[in-house]
Chain A
Amino acid sequence: MEQKNTTFKRYFKLYRLLIGQFLKAIMQSKVDFFMGLFGFFFSQVMGIAFLYLVFQQIPTLDGWTFDQLIFIYGFAQIPRGIDHLLTDNIWMIAWRIVIKGEFDRYMLRPMNLFFQVIAEKLQPDALGELLVGSILIILSISKGIVIIDIWHVVLFLISIIAGALIYTSIKLFFASFAFWIKISGPFLQVAYDMAEFAKYPTEIYTKIIRFLITWVIPFAFVAYLPASYFLKADVSATVIGIECIIAILFWCISYAFFNKGTSIYESSGN
């Protein structure tokens, strides 16, 4: 127990140090940071404007109102943003780190490999997602369409953490292919962009797509399904339970796959 505790402390301290270094680098390019943030924020606003124009034509979409869709839209951004902020460096495995042989330096250090990968970078662009998500959720709460009681608040927090874990797992899984095929970026991009489907109620899609985004690349469990629990009283809390199970299951698979990949990693020379 004592042993475990000190390991945790050591990693925590290391994380702080590494991120501290990274933040210094960010501060040097503040304009870039704000431009990126603004650009991102703006593209989200366009997505909402689109929904607004559509709802000028119809009262509800398969039983969902404009306000409810805004909540789903906003809710989807939070787990996405958390994952984006903390684990953005996974993309670099898919695109660059493996093929350039830069993975060597992780292998040389006596630390957990996954920890080293994510500790190298924080992605401040993600604040755009978190900002848009928070604004939309607060707006929805102020309109009184979100169910608020102690259970829902607790499950809300659990749900966004599980959602972020699902994102991380999917990213890690597709990025790990790079250990075999050297560059897996395009595949990761395809998988990641499947999340776009989950911004709307999945009932609108045909069965195959619905199955795909619910059980194969389970983005529906990050956005639409848990969000519906917070909007409709008749949706049972089991949906959050299933979300957690999926998150843990996918994480175990991805992490095992990542470990398998690192075990066969051969440097391309650095």
Chain B
Amino acid sequence: MRRKLKIYLPFTSNELKRQLSYKGAFYLFMLISLFGSFISYYLWMAIYGNSESGVLGGFSKNEMIIYVFMVYVTSSIVTVSIADWISDDVVMGTVSMNLIKPMDYRISLIFRALGSMLYRFLAPGVFIWIGIEVYKVKVLGMDFPNILSILLFILSCIMSFLIYVLFDFCFGMISFFTTHIFGMLLVKEALLSFLTGQLIPISFFPESLQHVFDYLPFSSMVYTPVMIYLGKYTGETLCYMLLRQCIWVIILYLLGSLIWRKVTKRLIVLGG
């Protein structure tokens, strides 16, 4: 175990260092993605202003404010797009180097993503989170969440991270078959922002669609941790949601291994 960590931890620290060296651009990009949150914020304020009932899709106005910004914090931490790296590796041919080294390509990617995740958590994530908390208590007059729900939120985020990264690994395998992954990445971004609840809470979707989503991994990526944070899941539902995340981690891990085995077989044929 310790030997393993010694092999893979440098991927994490390298990624952290790499991110730190491009701070300026990074903050500007974060600012841009915050635009989106502010647009949603004002849009939702107008929507609640125009609605006769104070509760929409199970959210009160104040809860929606927290939702909009916590979704931003959560997704900026969780959604580390490793498919981009895989596609780079394949296009540049460096993936063959990764294959001949005595290590697991996927694990190395996950550790690299971990570096990215840690950086995003430390850099803007945690500060915006504190900002939200201060706003929540001072302006909205709501209570601090208790320690337990914060811990559960973090636990859920870690699983979300694994689900996202493992899913993205499977997705990135497309780049072994076609070099035209750019358009696919656009489609993925658009689809995920919708299905993970980043654009709009999943409770706004028609019932029938929500049932379909129950069998897909996407709501476990961002929606579940934020709902846990908001205290929307309690008791049995909470356990069920965490269990579902666990199961998705396992399923996507196995699926990834399966696809990887098929893909590398194909590569051997081509290389021979």
Residues of A whose CB lies within 8 Å of any CB of B are 29, 31-32, 34-40, 42-43, 45-46, 49-50, 53-54, 56-62, 185-187, 189-190, 193-194, 196-197, 200, 203-206, 209
Given the complex, which residues of A lie within 8 Å of B49, measured CB to CB? Answer: 62
User: Which A-chain residue is minimally distant from B56 (CB atoms)?
Assistant: A57
Interface residue from A36, A186, A206 paired with B28 (Cβ < 8 Å) = A186
Q: How far is the CA of A45 from the CA of B199 in the complex (A)?
A: 13
Evaluate contact between A189 and B28: CB separation under 8 angstroms.
yes
Interface residue from A45, A53, A185 paired with B205 (Cβ < 8 Å) = A53
Interface residue from B43, B51, B187, B194 paired with A57 (Cβ < 8 Å) = B51
Q: How far is the CA of A190 from the CA of B57 in the complex (A)?
A: 32
Given the complex, which residues of B lie within 8 Å of A57, measured CB to CB? Answer: 47, 51, 56-57, 204
What is the CB-to-nearest-CB distance from A76 to chain B, in angstroms, rounded to a whole number?
Answer: 13
Known: A42-B191, A46-B194, A186-B24. A197 touches B35 (CB 8 A): yes
Evaluate contact between A58 and B43: CB separation under 8 angstroms.
no
| B38, B183, B187, B191, most chain A CB atoms within 10 A | B183
B residues 17-67 touching A (CB-CB < 8 Å) = 24-25, 28-29, 31-32, 35-36, 38-39, 42-43, 45-47, 49-51, 56-57
What is the CB-to-nearest-CB distance from A218 to chain B, in angstroms, rounded to a whole number?
Answer: 16
Given the complex, which residues of B lie within 8 Å of A50, measured CB to CB? Answer: 194, 199-200
Known: A39-B183, A53-B205, A62-B50. A193 touches B35 (CB 8 A): yes
Interface residue from A39, A186, A189, A194 paired with B184 (Cβ < 8 Å) = A39
Known: A49-B194, A206-B42. A40 touches B186 (CB 8 A): yes
Given the complex, which residues of A lie within 8 Å of B47, measured CB to CB? Answer: 54, 57-58, 61
Interface size class of B (residues with CB under 8 A): 35 or more
B178 at the A interface (CB under 8 A): yes
Given the complex, which residues of A lie within 8 Å of B57, measured CB to CB? Answer: 57
User: Which B-chain residue is minimally distant from A37 (CB atoms)?
Assistant: B183
Known: A57-B204, A61-B50, A196-B39. A190 touches B182 (CB 8 A): no
What is the CB-to-nearest-CB distance from B212 to chain A, in angstroms, rounded to a whole number?
Answer: 15
Given the complex, which residues of B lie within 8 Å of A62, measured CB to CB? Answer: 46, 49-50
Q: How far is the CA of A35 from the CA of B35 in the complex (A)?
A: 27
User: Which A-chain residue is minimally distant from B201 (CB atoms)?
Assistant: A53
What is the CB-to-nearest-CB distance from B259 to chain A, in angstroms, rounded to a whole number?
Answer: 21
Known: A38-B187, A42-B191. A190 touches B28 (CB 8 A): yes
B180 at the A interface (CB under 8 A): yes
Evaluate contact between B43 and A200: CB separation under 8 angstroms.
yes
Known: A32-B183, A53-B205. A43 touches B190 (CB 8 A): yes
A-B contact list, 28 entries, CB within 8 Å: A32-B182, A35-B182, A35-B184, A39-B187, A42-B190, A43-B190, A45-B190, A46-B190, A46-B194, A53-B200, A53-B204, A53-B205, A56-B204, A57-B51, A57-B204, A58-B47, A59-B50, A61-B47, A61-B50, A62-B50, A187-B28, A189-B28, A190-B28, A190-B31, A190-B32, A196-B36, A196-B39, A205-B42
B residues 88-102 touching A (CB-CB < 8 Å) = none
Evaluate contact between A196 and B35: CB separation under 8 angstroms.
yes
B230 at the A interface (CB under 8 A): no
Q: How far is the CA of A142 from the CA of B139 in the complex (A)?
A: 46
Evaluate contact between A189 and B42: CB separation under 8 angstroms.
no
Given the complex, which residues of B lie within 8 Å of A37, measured CB to CB? Answer: 183
